[in-house]
């Protein structure tokens, strides 16, 4: 599904991992083995098409190796999981000055709902999902497998 022409954009940094976990105040709140660690930021003005684009990409992204060693398998085909972590700083704009601005990020109360909707949509596709704690000071630890890191943007700017 195509993303909208106007408004915000959902951004994600996707890392193929052999394991990942997120801790808050010294306690693990989410952890996975093989799968995807996804840092997700929702932009002001995002719509249903933006969310659907990201969910479809995450579910179908073929970045896991098949028997021939080629990246041909998606997270469901390797019985993987997703660790989904909200990270509004992906909408940081540092083009001017040295302090980034975050006005393009969706306001927190709305963004929390969108992140939860993303997790629910992935679970509806039978993908196990763990989440960080929205708005918390989180520590993320992972083993990037490959390394493989993909940037996604619902407006396809990269």
> Annotated active-site positions, please?
87-89
Q: CA-to-CA distance for 87 and 37, rounded, in angstroms?
A: 12
Radius of gyration of the CA atoms of the chain, in A: 15
What is the token pair recorded at 126?
A: 């039978």
Q: CA-to-CA distance for 158 and 153, rounded, in angstroms?
A: 6
| Sign of the four-CA dihedral 89, 94, 98, 99 | negative
CA 29 to chain centre: 16
């Amino acid at each position: 599904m195509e993303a909208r022409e106007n408004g915000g954009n959902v951004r994600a940094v996707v890392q193929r991992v052999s394991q990942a976990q997120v801790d808050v105040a010294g306690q693990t709140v989410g952890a996975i083995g093989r799968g995807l660690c996804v840092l997700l930021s929702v932009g002001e003005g995002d719509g249903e098409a933006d969310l659907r684009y990201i969910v479809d990409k995450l579910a179908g992204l073929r970045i896991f190796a098949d028997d021939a060693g080629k990246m041909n398998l998606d997270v469901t085909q390797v019985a993987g999981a997703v660790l989904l972590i909200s990270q509004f700083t992906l909408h940081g704009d540092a083009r001017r000055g040295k302090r980034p601005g975050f006005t393009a990020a969706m306001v927190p109360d709305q963004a929390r709902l969108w992140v939860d909707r993303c997790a629910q949509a992935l679970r509806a596709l039978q993908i196990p999902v763990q989440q960080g704690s929205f708005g918390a000071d989180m520590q993320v630890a992972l083993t990037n497998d490959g390394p493989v890191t993909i940037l996604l943007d619902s407006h396809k700017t990269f």
